[in-house]
Chain A
Amino acid sequence: MAERLSNREGIKGMANPTRYGILRVAYWLQRLSGLGLLAYLIGHIYETSTILNGKAAWDNMLSLTETPGGHIVLVIVIGMCVFHTGNGIRVMISEGGKGVGKPGQPEYPYRASSLNSKQRLCIWVSIALAALAMMYGAGVLFGN
């Protein structure tokens, strides 16, 4: 009841990437790719731990990743990994106060310096690199 009246947007609002421009989309993708990589890491640890159950169990698990579905998952993981790294570097540098512009007299129509073209370019480059890496990964995995 109290939360209802506080009118917080909650996770639904936090996870909504629309309305506020490309930086909010990058924020959303960074979170999504981070959660995806965490899930992959847990799955990967589970996958490699099957070796403790002998060669048959390991081969059985490995065969799962060598299906088209397994390859698609790996291609998505490659994309998440590249985007998360590229965008993560941008965020780390920005959070140190670099590349966010300099304070000055705001002029109408008040475009925020922190949402500058360098930031937007870095986001698009991260997306493009992720797409290229995914294409290369798909070529290698499905090419054989």
Chain B
Amino acid sequence: MATVTVPKEEKTAVVTSPESTQKTVTLRIARINPPESTETKFEEFKVPVQKWTTVLESILYVKQNLDHSIAVRYSCRQASCGSCGMKINGKPRLACYTKISELESNVITIEPMNNFPIIRDLAVNFEQLFSTHKKMKPFIINEESEVNSDTKEFIQTPQDLEKFLQFSYCIKCGLCNSACPTMATDTSFIGPQGLAQAYRYTADNRDKGKKDRLKIVDQSHGIWRCHFAGSCSNVCPKGVDPAMAIQLLRGYLLGFGK
């Protein structure tokens, strides 16, 4: 992405705190407003930080005190909603889950996630991720799943549960899709998020929709485009490990898995 650094005066808020020796870091925030402008500019802001300050808190500090026009999506502030994914110092991370202190840098560069269309500044469009997720039929397919007086609840052992539990922790933050090298070049690739969800339901012994789901992933822009670079699992903030799910699903397709 071609970028332009705007040489402008540093923006700093007057810190009224008595702690005059408080540490400050520089946030370099990408500013882009398509379709009016497709050029990315970086604006720099100095913000005071504590050792527990998260990147999201520092962005909100900027919004509150220095420049309220920065577009950022966030909600829960506790790594549960998956809204605040962005590229922080070159790597996709959740802003609410990343402490400034762990980045070990006095300059924090914040950009929108790659492989997602930009809405404005740090906010990206999740339309493709959600539509792919929906295509994976993310629900139990079982004719006997309707609850009525004649049906019993499905009984699963802890071992049955362990086969899919970790993949059900996906919060759809999109970090995996942003880190994936195949997603970087293939606009039609299902992506690690969708493929991991396909495995989550395929591994569930209550589900009877394996055939339908495998037909969806077994195509040219599907599971075979994954080359096990492991970047998706490297950035996942919830331990979902999409790379494992994809390899297990592929093993299942090849007849090695159960």
Which A residues fall within an 8 A CB radius of B? 1, 4-11, 13-14, 19-21, 23-24, 26-27, 30, 91, 94-98, 100-108, 110-115, 119
Cα A23 to Cα B227 with chains together (Å): 10
Q: Across the interface, which residues of B come within 8 angstroms of A104, CB to CB?
A: 162, 165-166
Given contacts A9-B184, A96-B254, A97-B251, is CB(A23)–CB(B244) below 8 Å? no
Specify the chain A residue showing the minimal Cβ separation from B158: A105
Question: Chain B interface residue count: which class?
Answer: 35 or more
Cα A14 to Cα B181 with chains together (Å): 4
Cα A94 to Cα B235 with chains together (Å): 20
Q: Across the interface, which residues of B come within 8 angstroms of A23, CB to CB?
A: 228-231, 234, 243
Q: Across the interface, which residues of B come within 8 angstroms of A105, CB to CB?
A: 162, 165-166
Instruction: Give the interface SS of chain B, mostly helix, strand, loop or mixed.
Output: loop
Q: Across the interface, which residues of A come within 8 angstroms of B241, CB to CB?
A: 101, 103, 106, 112-114
Given contacts A5-B38, A112-B234, A115-B233, is CB(A96)–CB(B227) below 8 Å? no
Given contacts A96-B251, A97-B247, A97-B257, is CB(A14)–CB(B185) below 8 Å? yes
Stretch in contact with the other chain, from B9-17, B44-52, B115-123:
B115-123
Cα A104 to Cα B91 with chains together (Å): 26
Chain B nearest CB: distance from A122 CB in Å?
12
Q: Across the interface, which residues of A come within 8 angstroms of B182, CB to CB?
A: 14
Is A100 in contact with B248, judged by CB distance below 8 angstroms? yes
Extra pairs beyond A7-B114, A96-B250 (14, CB < 8 Å): A5-B117, A7-B1, A8-B187, A9-B115, A9-B184, A24-B230, A27-B227, A95-B228, A96-B256, A98-B251, A103-B248, A104-B162, A112-B239, A115-B233
Which B residues fall within an 8 A CB radius of A? 1, 34-35, 38, 90-91, 112-118, 124, 162-167, 169, 179, 181-185, 187, 203, 227-231, 233-241, 243-245, 247-252, 254, 256-257
Specify the chain A residue showing the minimal Cβ separation from B248: A97
Is A8 in contact with B184, judged by CB distance below 8 angstroms? yes
Q: Across the interface, which residues of A come within 8 angstroms of B116, CB to CB?
A: 6-7
Q: Across the interface, which residues of B come within 8 angstroms of A115, CB to CB?
A: 230, 233-234, 243
Give me 26 A-to-B residue pairs in the complex whose CB atoms sit less than 8 angstroms apart, sorted by A's number. A1-B38, A5-B34, A6-B187, A10-B184, A13-B114, A13-B181, A13-B184, A20-B231, A20-B234, A21-B234, A23-B229, A23-B231, A27-B228, A91-B227, A94-B247, A96-B251, A97-B249, A97-B250, A102-B162, A103-B244, A104-B162, A105-B166, A106-B169, A106-B241, A112-B244, A113-B241
Is B251 in contact with A7, judged by CB distance below 8 angstroms? no
Q: Across the interface, which residues of A come within 8 angstroms of B113, CB to CB?
A: 7
Q: Across the interface, which residues of A come within 8 angstroms of B250, CB to CB?
A: 95-97
Cα A26 to Cα B106 with chains together (Å): 31
